[in-house]
Amino acid sequence: MQIKKLLSYLEEIAPPSLQESYDNAGLIVGDPKVDIEGVLICLDSTEAVIDEAIQLGCNLVIAHHPIVFKGLKRLNGKNYVERTVMKAIKNDIAIYAIHTNLDNVYYKGVNSAIAEQLGLVDTQILAPKGRAKKLITFVAPDQMEPLRKALLDAGAGAVSGFRDLTYASLGVGTRDGSGGAQVKLEVVYAAHQERSLVSALLKAHPEAHVPYDIIATENKVMEIGSGMIGKLEEPMNEKDFLAHLKSVMGAGCVRYTRLRRRKVRKVAVCGGSGGFLLQTAIARGADIFVTADYKYHEFFDADGRIVIADIGHYESEQFTIQLLHEIISNKFSIFAAHCTKVNTNPVYYL
């Protein structure tokens, strides 16, 4: 099986269009048409990870963080980025990154993995930002169901917690002076799905010249966005929750703001650097906000309205490795998928 087939599947789950503007997710090194011999999954594609891939006979590394964020002007091995890329190329190992696009999805996303570890229920995207669109087309009544199925298979009708959401109304269509029964079929979809949806429409519609309209809406797609918020099944006091957090997330330490002497019921989380979501977490009534990479002065922003708990960048995202392993191994069985045994965390604790 070629690399591009696996990448196409991963991009159905986390479309590249959902990555942030500063990001560099995608195939960074390698030929997508090469057959997969084995896959190694990691958080960071370092030199040690490439060495591990060589030892395991893997020719594809799936990483969460891109090894290259900005353009490389030279490849002469002067830093770990250049050395990693050079070693991968020399040994015919492809490197693929699935970063903020995986952060920004609800289903099988980075933050859902954190929420699962913490035992949160009734989870939602903390800051939804996807936009819904509507596609309208017209078709003969007896040809509607195959077309409807094709659009649903392409991802339409799955927004804001709904599945298979469509609307059909019967009317009379006229053309060149003659008329007949027509069904107006409407489907909603997330904006990033537009290309695949239109492609499915053009392929499945029985007419050569397909009539359709696309309408932008102000409705948000609740399954796309930053962070996650959920509830504990049973409220905990703050100290007990922090101890639970440190244990289940394998954190070397937890840096936190002044406790509020209240029960923890609602928890907001964001893997990696999530400080930009603090005000949203407060506005949505979270008792504690779990994230990473907080600077000294930023802790003051809690201002007694919430508890900030910084568990470290690596610690907050480490379960992404197992998440990706499950996504890949549950779908494909014709090649071996390995979780790295290299701890790429650059931070150590006494």
| Mean pLDDT, rounded, for 3-10 | 97
Q: What's this model's pTM, rounded to 2 decimal places?
A: 0.86
> Using CA of residue 143, residue 147, residue 152, residue 156, what is the dihedral sign?
negative
Residue 57 tokens read as 């006979």
For residue 161, the model assigns a pLDDT of 64
| Mean pLDDT, rounded, for 168-193 | 87
Considering only the C-alpha atoms of the chain, give the largest distance between any 2 of them, rounded to a whole number of Å: 83
For residue 14, the model assigns a pLDDT of 94
Q: Does 192 score more than 90 pLDDT?
A: no
Residue 265 DSSP class = E
For residue 160, the model assigns a pLDDT of 66
Q: Does 179 score more than 90 pLDDT?
A: no
pLDDT by residue (tens digit) across 134-170?
Answer: 999 999 999 999 999 999 998 888 776 667 889 999 9
**Which of 219 and 269 is assigned the larger pLDDT?**
269
> Could you count the other beta carbons within 10 Å of the beta carbon of residue 219?
15
**Residues 314 and 342 sit within 8 Å (Cβ to Cβ):** no
pLDDT by residue (tens digit) across 195-247?
Answer: 889 999 999 999 989 999 999 988 888 889 999 999 999 999 999 999 999 99
pLDDT by residue (tens digit) across 39-60?
Answer: 999 999 999 999 999 999 999 9
Most confident of 123-137, 187-201, 272-286: 272-286
| Mean pLDDT, rounded, for 279-301 | 98
Residue 317 pLDDT class (50, 70, 90 cuts): very high
Residue whose entry in the numeric block shows the structure tokens 């993995």 = 113
Q: Does 22 score more than 80 pLDDT?
A: yes
**Residues 268 and 302 sit within 8 Å (Cβ to Cβ):** no
Most confident of 12-16, 178-182, 256-260: 256-260
**Which of 165 and 336 is assigned the larger pLDDT?**
336
Q: State the chain's mean pLDDT as an integer.
A: 94
Chain center to CA of 107: 8
| Mean pLDDT, rounded, for 274-294 | 98
CA angle 309, 315, 317 (to 5 degrees): 105
Q: What secondary structure does DSSP assign to 134-188, as a single string?
A: EEEEEE-GGGHHHHHHHHHHTTTT--TT-SS-EEEEEEEEEETTEEEEEEEEEEE
